[in-house]
Amino acid sequence: MTSRIRNLTGVLGILALGILIGLYFRGEWGSESLPIAKAQTTNSSSENDGAVERYSPVKSRDRDFYAPNSEDLKPDEMRLIACGTGMPTARPKQAASCWLLELGNGDKFLFDIGTGSNERVSALQIPYNFLDKVFLSHLHTDHFGDLDALFVGGALAGRQKPLRVWGPSGDTPERGTKYALDHLRKALTWDLDGRKGLTDPRGYFLEVNEFDYRGKNQVVYQENGVTIRSWPAIHSLDGPVSYSVEWNGLKFVFGGDTFPNKWYDEYAQNADLAIHESFIAVPDMITKFKFTPQSALDVGTQIHTAPEAFGKVMSRIKPRMAVAYHFFNDFDTSHAIYEGIRETYDGPLSLAQDYMVWNITKDDIRVRLVAFDEAVWPPPATEKPQLPDPSERIPYSDEISGGRLDVKDVIQPIYDKINKQYGINEKQED
């Protein structure tokens, strides 16, 4: 009997699907019988209210998701993509802090490049020559732990220029961005030496721009009509900062990690989109992370910003869109964060998740998710690759070189084919 019921249910389901498809192609499936979902926006128009929308099955139409490289960015538009919204502990669902801001003038900026986020950046299929500007909020690994992957992997994938990094000083030289990146470069000595003479060398350089973390609304970047400012944040030690980006009459604010503070309260005013951390609720820190109640209170409300405090911050600065991040956005944890925020804030709100997209203009803010290909390859380089200098290659020792098997006979046909196809004359190593 059970199998008969299942079979009957399946048949009825197929029949129902067939009827819906038939209605669609007959033009009888309208917005009243089955409303078509719209992407979230902060503004709405009543121009077409009540109209029946009809779509051709062979023509493109507006989508409720963003596919990389599928849409022009208007000259007066910002696009923000969340490439990492989670916490220091790794998980497949959420990488650590990383935000890509694209401007209609062609500029692109990364704010933080936390652990696991470089994978999300690659999914967007942006040529790496355009991903050469990174702004670090502070030096916790969940905010710069994938810098090495972007640095080396980006150079291999087509960034033919130095990677430019901006970040704050510390209260001692050893706690500043320059010290951290100088030593990161040293940690990569074997990796980088092993690539000499084999690949285009231009991308394997770091340009570090360290600025005083104590500066109040100081200009740390100003090029191509874009002004980026920083101010102090309060988190763990002296050194963290928040940023604002001002361009073409629009303002984006990235708080990094911070306890609510008077500088954010002052300098984030009039933001079109404002990001501020809203940490996981204290009860969930106790039950999910197994923190002691004492540690959960300290970390969740003093080192980080509790949802209720996030709401109070946003109710004071009144952005066009508030974005909460730095929590695990799950079905059984997001409700507590949302309820905590709504105790103190009733304005436009996004609870961030990886691959969330905000398109920002003076008239509207549209919120969607990215639809991406997991099997991406690097996008085309924007410049012709520079041939490496073989003389810079570091040779093997005699002992290691002496361990090579002789496979020249099977490799030579590969050389012959490629030499002929590309008009070159490369030879195997002796």
Structure tokens at 283: 């009860």
Same domain, 282 and 426: no
**One domain, residues 277 and 422:** no
Give residue 55's pLDDT: 67
pLDDT at 430: 80
Give residue 411's domain range.
402-430
Per-residue pLDDT, 42: 55
Report whether pLDDT(415) > 90.
Answer: yes
Does the pLDDT at position 372 exceed 80?
A: yes
Structure tokens that stand for 125 in this block: 């299929």
143-172 mean pLDDT? 97
In a domain, residue 381? The reply is no
Domain shared by 364 and 429, yes or no? no
Going by C-alpha positions, the residue among 127, 86, 27 that lies closest to residue 280 is: 86
pLDDT at 1: 44
With respect to residue 393, please indicate whether it lies within any of the assigned structural domains. Answer: no
Judgement on whether residues 409 and 276 belong to the same structural domain of the protein? no
Check whether 147 has a pLDDT greater than 60.
yes
The answer, yes or no, to whether residue 5 has pLDDT greater than 60, is no
pLDDT at 38 over 50: no
Q: Are residue 332 and residue 424 in the same domain, yes or no? A: no
User: With bands split at pLDDT 50, 70 and 90, how would you rate the model's confidence at 90?
Assistant: confident
Inside any domain, residue 33 = no
Confidence of residue 40 (pLDDT cuts 50, 70, 90): low
Position 391 in a domain: no
Instruction: Give the β-pairing of 321-325 and 349-351.
Output: parallel
pLDDT classification of 62: cutoffs 50, 70, 90: confident
> What is the per-residue pLDDT for 293?
96
Judgement on whether residues 407 and 272 belong to the same structural domain of the protein: no
What's the pLDDT band for 43 if we cut at 50, 70, 90?
A: low
Residues 267 and 366 in one domain: yes
Query: Cα separation of 275 and 268, whole Å?
Result: 10
Confidence of residue 59 (pLDDT cuts 50, 70, 90): confident
Q: What is the mean pLDDT of the chain?
A: 89
pLDDT value at position 49? 55
259: left (phi over 0), alpha (psi -120 to 50) or beta: beta
Same-domain pairing of 426 and 340: no
Tell me how many domains the chain contains: 2
Higher pLDDT, 28 or 227: 227
Domain contains 9: no
Give the CA count within 13 Å in the CB-facing half-sphere of 143.
25
**What share of the chain in percent tops pLDDT 90?**
84
**Whole-angstrom distance, CA of residue 267 vs CA of residue 317:** 9
Mean pLDDT, range 253-278, rounded to an integer? 98
Q: Residue 19 pLDDT > 80, yes or no?
A: no
Angle 242-248-253 from CA coordinates, rounded to 5°: 15
Using DSSP's 3-state secondary structure scheme, residue 222 falls into strand
Token couple for 320 = 């066009």
Give the mean pLDDT of 86-96.
94
Amino acid 58: pLDDT: 79
- Give the DSSP letter string of 180-220: HHHHHHHHTHHHHHTTTTTS-GGG--EEEEEE-TT-SSEEE
Listed range (83-87, 180-184, 269-273, 389-393) with the worst mean pLDDT: 389-393
pLDDT of 29 > 90? The answer is no
Q: Is residue 83 part of a domain?
A: yes
- Looking at residue 27, its pLDDT comes to 39
Q: What angle do CA 199, 204, 207 make, to 5 degrees?
A: 160
Longest dimension (CA), the chain: 80
Q: What is the pLDDT of residues 316-348, one digit of tens each?
A: 999 999 999 999 999 999 999 999 999 999 999
pTM: 0.87
Same domain, 326 and 428: no
pLDDT at 175 over 60: yes
Q: Residue 35 has which token pair?
A: 């409303």
* Average pLDDT of span 414-421: 96
What digits encode the pLDDT tens for the residues 97-146?
A: 999 999 999 999 999 999 999 999 999 999 999 999 999 999 999 999 99
Same domain? For 282 and 363 the reply is yes
For tokens 């009809």, what's the residue? 54
What is the CB neighbour count within 10 angstroms for residue 91? 12
In this structure, the answer to whether residues 320 and 429 fall within a common structural domain is: no
Predicted pLDDT at 3: 43
> Residue 53: inside a domain, yes or no?
no
Residues 60-75: what's their mean pLDDT?
A: 90
Between CA 367 and CA 66 the distance in angstroms is 9
Q: In the prediction, which pLDDT does 117 show? A: 98
- Residue 429: which pLDDT band, with cuts at 50, 70 and 90? confident
300 and 430, same domain (yes or no)? no
How far is 398 from 201, CA to CA, in rounded Å?
Answer: 26
The C-alpha atoms of residue 80 and residue 100 are separated, in whole angstroms, by 6
For residue 57, what pLDDT band results from cuts at 50, 70 and 90?
A: confident
% of the chain with per-residue pLDDT over 70 = 87
Tell whether the torsion through CA atoms of 122, 114, 362 and 345 is positive or negative.
positive
Asked whether residue 23 is domain-assigned, the answer is no
Structural contact between residues 111 and 105, judged by C-beta atoms closer than 8 angstroms = no
* CATH code of the domain covering residue 127: 3.60.15.10
Angstrom distances, CA of residue 161 to CA of 48, 172, 387: 49, 30, 14
Residue-wise pLDDT tens digits, 225-257: 999 999 999 999 999 999 999 999 999 999 999
